[in-house]
Structure 1
Amino acid sequence: MSLDAIQEFIMTRARRSNLRSVVAGATVTLVAVGALVACSSSGGGGASSGGTTITLTHGYTDAEATELTALAKQWNTANPDAKVVLAFNGGNDSALQKTVAGFAAGNYPDIAYEYGSSSAQLATQPKLVDLTEKVKASGFNWDDFYPSEQQAASVNGKVVGIPALVDNLSLVYNKKLFTAAGLAPPTNDWTWQDFRTAAAKLTNAGQHQYGWSYVNDGSEDTVWRYLAMLWQAGGDLLTSDNSKPAFDSPAGLAALQQLHDMAVTDKSVYLDTGNQNYLNLFNGGKIAMLWTGPWDLSSINSDVQYGVAYLPSDNGDHETISGPDLYMLFDRSAARTDTAVKFITWLTSPTIHLQFATATGDLPVRKSETTLPGYKTFLTKYPAEQVFVDNLDNVKHVRPNIPQYAQVSTAVGQMVQSVLLGQATPEAAIKSGASAVTAALAGS
C-alpha cells in the first residue's frame, strides 16, 4: 500500500480536534519513510552560541498558530539560553506520520503536538520521554488537568504526554426553529426520548428540514457520537483489559436502536457524507440540532441564534466524549529534554494557557483556569463555551489507548453506518461489528 493510500485512510476531515480524527493506528509503522519532520537547523546539536535550542512541531493555523508564535517569542525573550523554535508540520492530521518518519531519519522534534489517539503508537518509541515522575514535580499540579486528559495522556500506567487541547460533544440547537415549531428549547435534563420527539417535530421532509445531523461516512466522525450514547447507556467499547469487544451488550444495542429509530423510522436525521455540509444546512435553517464541539462555533453565521446544552441522556447519564490532544516529548539530549519539560510546564500552566484559550477559543485544559480572573474575559469573548467547559465534568471514559484502535474504529464505524442507512438491523449490525472488532484485536 502506498504512503498516500495509508494517509488517505487514516486522516480526518476535522479542522483540529483529535476527537474527530480518524485515528492513526497500526498502519503507522508502515510510514517510516517519506516526508521528514522540518525540525530546523537546531535538529542536529541543539546548542546555539546562547545555550540550548529545542524544536516544537505543530499543525496549528490561524489564531492558534499566531498565539503559539507569540507565546514562544515571550518564552524566548525571558529565556535567552533555552530557546524554542516552532516548525509547522503541514497539519495535525499528518503529525504522527511525520514524527515517525523523523525517527527513521534521525531528525525528530524535541516536542510534537500529537492527537491523543496517537499515544499508543508513540509510547513504543525508545526516544519518548517518560513523564510519569516529571508531572509529580512540585508546582506542576498534574491533578489540575481534567481526569479525561490524564487518562488520554497515559499508556499502560505511564504518562506519555501533556494535554495540549481538550474538546467535548454538546448539543447545539437553532433557537428560531424551536420557536417556530412551538417547542421549548433543550435543557441539560433532556432524555433520549425528549431528543427523539423534538427531532421528529423539527423535521419537514417537504422543506428538506431535519431535526438532527449525523456524520455517516463510517469514520471516527461516525463512531464518537455512538460511543457517547454507549457510555450513557452503561456500556463500554471494550472489556477492561482491551482484549474483547464489550459493546455487543444491551447498552450497545440500545444506542443503535435509538439511532435506527431516529434515522430509519422517523427519518429525522440528515446523514452527512463527511463533507461538513451539515454546517451549511444548520446556517441555512435546514438542521435544528447538532452534536458538535466548540471548533464549529466560529463557522455558525452571526445571524443564527443558537444555544448549547448537554447531550440528552439515557437514565440520567449525560456522559459525553472528549478528545484530548497532547504535547509529546522526545529525548535528543539531557539538556534539551530539560528545556522541553520546562517550556511545556510553562506553556500549559494555568495563566499562560488561559491566555492561549482567550486568544483562540480553545477550552481551558486545567480546572484552575476557570478560577482565574481572566476566565471572565474568556467567557465574555466566548459565552457559548460555558456549557462546553461545564460539560468536561461529564467525561467519564476515554477511547482505549491501544495500537489496534484504528481497526476497531473502522469496524464500529461500519456497524453504525449500516444501521443509519437501514442496511442492517441493530441486532445484526452489532453481531457483525463485534466479530470484526474481535478479529482486529486478534490481529487477523
Structure 2
Amino acid sequence: MKFKKFVALGLGLVTAVSALTACSGGASGSKDTKEGDISGEIRYAFWDKGQAPYFEKCVAEFNKLYPNVKVTLENSGWEEYWKKLEAGATGGSSADVFWLNGPNITKYAKGDVLLPIDDKIKEAGIDLSNYPEALLKLYNVDGVQYAIPKDFDTIGIWYNKKLFDAAGVPYPKDDWTWDDYVATAKQLTKEDKSVYGTAVQYRDQTGIYNTIFASGGYVISDDKKSSGYNKAETQAGVQLLIDLQKEGVTPSQASLEETEDYVQFLSGKIAMLMNGSWFLNQIIGSEVQDDIDVVALPSINGKKATVIHGLGNCIAKSTKNPEAAWKWVEFLASEQANKLSAETGAAIPAYKGTSKDWVEKNPKYNLSMFIKAAEEYSYPYPVSLNTGEWTQYQADNLKKAFSLEVSVKEACDKLAKEMNEVLKNEK
C-alpha cells in the first residue's frame, strides 16, 4: 500500500532499567556487537515532555553500547506531534523512530509507512512473552509486528489531600462508589468557587470511556462493525459525567477551555481529577507533589472499569539508518530500559515484572491501584481501521453535549449514525 493509499486513509488527529548487557527476553545490544559496527544519526519523536528526562538517560546508556549512533530527541505537544508525523509520513521526512498508539497503528501500517520488525525480533532473540499480549496484538497488523510495547496505562482519580484536609473531608478509598464520588465533590466545592470538587470536560480515554464501560455500555462492537452510542447503557455512562455540571462541582466549559483541567488541578483549584497513570510524571517535581495521591475509579452500580492502553515504538520505513533505528528500539524494549522507566516514573513499563519497580519507586502514592485495575477490570482502548475519523465525530457531537447545547441522547444517537457509516466503509 503506497503513498496515495496512505493519503486516502485520511490520518486525522486522534484522541497516552540496569546491566549494560542484554537481559533475558529483551536485548539492549548483542554481546557480539563491536563498537563502531553500528553508526549514524537517528531522530526519535514523542509527545510527552514529562518523559524527556527518561529518554535522556536512555540515550546515555545506549551510547555506552553504541557510541557512534547519535540519537536526537524530538518532543512535541499532542496536536503538533500528529501534524508533524503525518507531514513527515507523506513527505518521506518523518523521524526514524516514533511513538504510535492504538488508534493510529493500523493506518500507518497499511499506509506503508512502518518497517516490519518480525525478522529483527527473531534475530535478536527477544522473548515477546515478556510483554502484555493485548498490547502486542494491538501493534500486530495483518499478522505483521510493527512495534514492541513501551508501556501501558490505566485511569484513576488523582486528588489533593491538602484540599481534603482543609474541608475536613476523609480521603477516598479504592472501594468507593459513584455516589461517594459525587458527594465528595460537593463537599470539596467552595461556595465562592475558588475550589471545585472535580473537573469535567470532554475526554475519551480519561473520561467517557471509563464511565461507559462501568455502566455496561460499549463504544464499538467486538467485530468493529457497529457503534454502541445508540445503546441506553452507553448513553447513561456519558450522562453521569455531564450531570456533574448540574451539581455545580466543576468549572464551566469556558473556564476549562481557557485553562485545561490538569493545569487547574496542579494549581490547587480542583480537588479531584480523573486522569491516567502517566500523570505521575507531571505530579513529581510540581509544587503540589507532596499533597497528591490517587485512588481507583469509583464503581457504578457495583461495577468497576478502566480503559487500558499503551504505546509502541515504531520505525519509519523511510529511515536511512534502519540498523541504528532498530538498535534504539531494541534497547527501549529491554528490561534495562524498562527498569529505568520505572525508576524515573515515566510510565508503567511494559516489560514483565518491572511495573513493581514503578510502584515501589514512588511509595507515597497509591500507584498499585493502576496495576490492579489493569489486571482485574480493564477494557481495551476502542479502535478500528479509521479510528481517527469516527473519533472526530465523537468529539464534535459530545462536546456539544458537554456544553449543554444538546441532550446526551441527541448527541449520541447522531454520533452512532455517523460512526456506523464510517465502520460500514472500513475494509
**Alpha carbons of structure 1 residues 213 and 60: separation in structure 2 relative to 1, 3 Å:** closer
* Secondary structure, counterpart of 2:410 in structure 1: helix
Equivalent residue for 1:253?
235
- Matching of residues 225-304 of structure 1 within 5 Å: 225-264=207-246, 266-272=247-253, 273-283=256-266, 285-293=268-276, 294-295=278-279, 296-298=282-284, 300-302=286-288
**Alpha carbons of structure 1 residues 347 and 118: separation in structure 2 relative to 1, 3 Å:** same
CA distance in structure 2 between the partners assigned to 1:392 and 1:182 by the alignment: 32
One-letter amino acid of the counterpart of residue 347, structure 2? D
Q: Are the aligned partners of 1:279 and 1:299 in contact in 2 as well (CA < 8 Å)? A: no
CA distance in structure 2 between the partners assigned to 1:396 and 1:29 by the alignment: 24
Q: Are the aligned partners of 1:69 and 1:86 in contact in 2 as well (CA < 8 Å)? A: no
- Matching of residues 113-128 of structure 1 within 5 Å: 113-128=99-114
CA distance in structure 1 between the partners assigned to 2:415 and 2:12 by the alignment: 25
Q: Give per-residue Cα distances to partners, 1:360-385, cap 9 Å, x unaligned.
A: 533222231135xx6576235x7454
1:363 aligns with 2:344: no
**Alpha carbons of structure 1 residues 230 and 136: separation in structure 2 relative to 1, 3 Å:** farther
CA distance in structure 2 between the partners assigned to 1:397 and 1:77 by the alignment: 37
Equivalent residue for 2:299?
313
Aligned with residue 62 of structure 2, among 44, 64, 75? 75
* Secondary structure, counterpart of 2:241 in structure 1: helix
CA distance in structure 2 between the partners assigned to 1:283 and 1:98 by the alignment: 29
1:350 aligns with 2:335: yes
Q: Are the aligned partners of 1:357 and 1:364 in contact in 2 as well (CA < 8 Å)? A: yes
Aligned with residue 379 of structure 1, among 333, 357, 362? 362
Q: Are the aligned partners of 1:112 and 1:329 in contact in 2 as well (CA < 8 Å)? A: yes
CA distance in structure 2 between the partners assigned to 1:204 and 1:92 by the alignment: 33
Q: Give per-residue Cα distances to partners, 1:374-408, cap 9 Å, x unaligned.
A: 6576235x7454433443334321220422x2232
* Secondary structure, counterpart of 1:86 in structure 2: strand
CA distance in structure 2 between the partners assigned to 1:154 and 1:302 by the alignment: 40
CA distance in structure 2 between the partners assigned to 1:104 and 1:67 by the alignment: 30
**Alpha carbons of structure 1 residues 271 and 384: separation in structure 2 relative to 1, 3 Å:** farther
One-letter amino acid of the counterpart of residue 173, structure 1? Y
Q: Which runs of 5+ in 2 are unaligned?
A: 1-6, 14-34
Question: CA shift at 1:314, angstroms?
Answer: 2.1
One-letter amino acid of the counterpart of residue 364, structure 1? P
Which structure is richer in relative contact order (CA contacts within 8 A, separation 6 or more)? 2
Q: Give per-residue Cα distances to partners, 1:166-208, cap 9 Å, x unaligned.
A: 3332101222433454443211112222212222333344344
**Alpha carbons of structure 1 residues 431 and 336: separation in structure 2 relative to 1, 3 Å:** same
* Secondary structure, counterpart of 2:349 in structure 1: coil
Q: Which runs of 5+ in 1 are unaligned?
A: 1-23, 31-47
- Matching of residues 33-112 of structure 1 within 5 Å: 51-53=38-40, 55-59=42-46, 64-79=51-66, 83=69, 85-86=71-72, 88=74, 90-91=76-77, 93-112=79-98
CA distance in structure 1 between the partners assigned to 2:205 and 2:47 by the alignment: 25
Question: CA shift at 1:428, angstroms?
Answer: 2.5
CA distance in structure 1 between the partners assigned to 2:12 and 2:370 by the alignment: 35
* Secondary structure, counterpart of 2:11 in structure 1: helix
**Alpha carbons of structure 1 residues 411 and 284: separation in structure 2 relative to 1, 3 Å:** same
Give the % identical residues.
19
* Secondary structure, counterpart of 2:273 in structure 1: strand
Question: CA shift at 1:308, angstroms?
Answer: 0.7
- Matching of residues 108-187 of structure 1 within 5 Å: 108-132=94-118, 135=121, 139-187=125-173
Aligned with residue 423 of structure 1, among 405, 410, 414? 405
Q: Are the aligned partners of 1:151 and 1:398 in contact in 2 as well (CA < 8 Å)? A: no
CA distance in structure 2 between the partners assigned to 1:324 and 1:246 by the alignment: 23
Equivalent residue for 2:182?
196
One-letter amino acid of the counterpart of residue 368, structure 1? G
One-letter amino acid of the counterpart of residue 274, structure 2? W
1:28 aligns with 2:11: yes
**Alpha carbons of structure 1 residues 274 and 421: separation in structure 2 relative to 1, 3 Å:** closer
CA distance in structure 2 between the partners assigned to 1:240 and 1:122 by the alignment: 22
Q: Are the aligned partners of 1:57 and 1:87 in contact in 2 as well (CA < 8 Å)? A: yes
Using the TM superposition, name which of 168-177 and 282-291 deviates more: 282-291
Question: CA shift at 1:116, angstroms?
Answer: 3.9
Q: Are the aligned partners of 2:188 and 2:197 in contact in 1 as well (CA < 8 Å)? A: yes
Question: CA shift at 1:312, angstroms?
Answer: 1.0
Using the TM superposition, name which of 169-178 and 228-237 deviates more: 169-178
Report how many aligned residue pairs link the two structures.
Answer: 393
* Secondary structure, counterpart of 2:51 in structure 1: helix
* Secondary structure, counterpart of 1:270 in structure 2: coil
CA distance in structure 1 between the partners assigned to 2:139 and 2:419 by the alignment: 24
One-letter amino acid of the counterpart of residue 242, structure 2? H
Output the TM-score relative to the length of structure 2.
0.77
Using the TM superposition, name which of 279-288 and 361-370 deviates more: 279-288
Question: CA shift at 1:252, angstroms?
Answer: 0.5
Question: CA shift at 1:291, angstroms?
Answer: 0.3
**Alpha carbons of structure 1 residues 242 and 62: separation in structure 2 relative to 1, 3 Å:** closer
